[in-house]
Structure 1
Amino acid sequence: MIGENKRVEEMNYFELIAWLGIGSSHPGGFPATKQNLDAVQIKPEEYVLDAGCGSGLTACHLAKTVGCKIMGIDINSQMIEKARQRAEKEGVSHLVEFKVADVYELPFADNQFDVVIAESIAVFLDKVKVYRELYRVLKPEGRVADLEMAILKEMPAAVRHQMEECFGSGTNPLPFQEWLEALAQAGFQDVDIKNPQPLRDNGNIVLNELKKDWVLVKDLMSKINRQPGLVRRLQKNAGFMKRNRSYFGFGLVYGRKPTPPPLKLGFKDRLWQVLFRRKPRQ
């Protein structure tokens, strides 16, 4: 397992977050999650996909507060195990299911979900490729709601290099307009940024969120004892964001999958309808 034979200094950001089991390391933390769920207005009868569910914090909160059914997926099996434990202990296993899956190749048929939610995954990935796959599994008129970090002003090369050192070479936040363009390129309509805001200095957000999450706090100290470099690693990432927060903001990248237009009938089908007043042959 990650972390048992690998030092935190050697882990990439995904490995670090997976080892810690944290599910709210995104900008704004869990308060931003709740604010965005209010904006999306998910209904009890809707089926939700939580793409990149982490340890299941958002999915279980949604199950408890709305009562809808949720499918959570994450590429890391450790996260999925923690998510299942959380759902069991919080009494929502009848509403929430978790499975290991790759957001690039979701193991679901077309048109399955009413809503897809995600939190800070596309920033590390090919945005259009991710959004096209989310588009595929959404039902017509389904919504995507993705909380992501954005660039508020041009970032110097040195700052970008430091960002990649902290969070990985694939880290690529976009200006808000480019986030919307990526969503539109994938086919979504009515694209919008909900709850846009600048990044605030909330200290070490990863450590803060760990301390507030009962699933994770119990083994945080043992991990610090086993890995003395953990606090330094978290402080390095937090220090970068504190020094450079004026470059960053975040918001909910939102869009709707349109209903496809009706198929145009050929001459023979139109003639068949006129002569026999029946639906065209299938």
Structure 2
Amino acid sequence: MGGSDYQELLALFGIGGAHPGGIALTEEILSGERLSKRTRVLDVGCGTGQTSAFLARKYGCAVTAIDLHPLMRQKARERFRKEQLAVKLLRGDANALPFSDGAFDLLLVESVTVFTDLAKSLPEYARVLKPGGVLIDLEMTAERPLAIQELKELQDVYGTKKVPTEAEWIGRFKQVGLRDVQTVKGGTVASALQGDPSVEGAWPEFQPSPDIDPSVYEIWHRHQEVTERFKLRLGYRVYRAKKPSKSTS
């Protein structure tokens, strides 16, 4: 088992807003951005399209959504069709984004980058942002440097080769030329699990496929076990960074 199995689980259950805080946190973070019909947004690893749909519905943004998983794209496509939203949906890999330089005003990435090759994905984010553009990236973050055995345990379930600390994430964003890097929200897994159940959108959305193989539930069980064991060692952060404008680069 590994990362591909976990991604398959997310797709089969049609989990939207799987990250801590769910779509409610996404909406809160985006409320601080200047979004309009002229804003060109790329939703990297869009999953079932929950965030892309919100951006198109609430702000009328020109949204492009990409995902590698065909079942995720199928569920996103159905969502956009039902809601009659003009979201451009493509097969796309965060490690090699199929777009020209400076194509987007805003990149939104939610619990995706940690599953990628950071040496490839982060430079790609910087490349496709226009000068002055903004990256918002919500990612799994180690509360302290993890030991080799801890990383192996996480890799066995999620396929993650590296889980950076907050300082390491910030350093990596700066390394690819992004500036004004800030942590705008965050906490431990334990704090996220104690979230307010009365907040609409704070918990994941499910769109399960029919006839799910029982073996998938074993992956879910392992995910739950790891979540419990690492609830104080792992956390999440929402990072915001800007690509320097030409005048300051």
Whether TM exceeds 0.5 here: the answer is: yes
In the alignment, what sits opposite 2:18?
25
Secondary structure of the residue aligned to 2:135 is: strand
TM-superposition CA deviations, 1:5-28 (whole Å, max 9, x none): xxx899522233233333322233
Runs of 4+ aligned structure 1 residues displaced above 6 Å come to none
Which of 66, 74, 79 aligns to 2:72? It is 79
Secondary structure of the residue aligned to 2:231 is: helix
> Normalising to structure 1: TM-score of the pair?
0.77
Q: 1:230 to 1:126 in 2, by over 3 A?
A: closer
The Cα shift of 1:237 comes to 0.5
- Does the aligned pair in 1 maintain the 2:2–2:157 contact within 8 Å? no
- Does the aligned pair in 2 maintain the 1:49–1:117 contact within 8 Å? yes
Show the 5 A alignment for 1:50-89.
50-89=43-82
Cα separation, 2, equivalents of 1:11 and 1:188: 30
Cα separation, 2, equivalents of 1:45 and 1:151: 36
> Which one has a bigger Cα radius of gyration?
1
Of structures 1 and 2, the one with the larger relative CO (CA 8 A, separation 6+) is: 2
The Cα shift of 1:137 comes to 1.2
Cα separation, 1, equivalents of 2:119 and 2:2: 31
- Does the aligned pair in 2 maintain the 1:128–1:183 contact within 8 Å? no
Number of paired residues? Answer: 240
Cα separation, 2, equivalents of 1:132 and 1:164: 23
> Normalising to structure 2: TM-score of the pair?
0.86
- Does the aligned pair in 2 maintain the 1:53–1:74 contact within 8 Å? yes
Show the 5 A alignment for 1:166-245.
166-168=157-159, 170-200=160-190, 202=193, 209=204, 212-213=205-206, 216-217=207-208, 219=209, 222-224=210-212, 227-245=213-231
Of Structure 1 and Structure 2, which has the larger fraction of its residues in helix? 1
Which of 73, 90, 109 aligns to 1:118? It is 109
The Cα shift of 1:41 comes to 4.3
Q: 1:49 to 1:9 in 2, by over 3 A?
A: closer
Cα separation, 2, equivalents of 1:114 and 1:80: 23
Cα separation, 2, equivalents of 1:145 and 1:160: 25
Unaligned runs of 5+ in 2: 195-202
The Cα shift of 1:199 comes to 1.6
Cα separation, 2, equivalents of 1:103 and 1:129: 8
Counting aligned pairs with the same residue, the percent is: 30
- Does the aligned pair in 2 maintain the 1:9–1:229 contact within 8 Å? no
Counterpart check, 1:106 vs 2:97? yes
Cα separation, 1, equivalents of 2:248 and 2:144: 43
- Does the aligned pair in 1 maintain the 2:173–2:181 contact within 8 Å? yes
The root-mean-square deviation of aligned C-alpha atoms, in Å, is 2.4
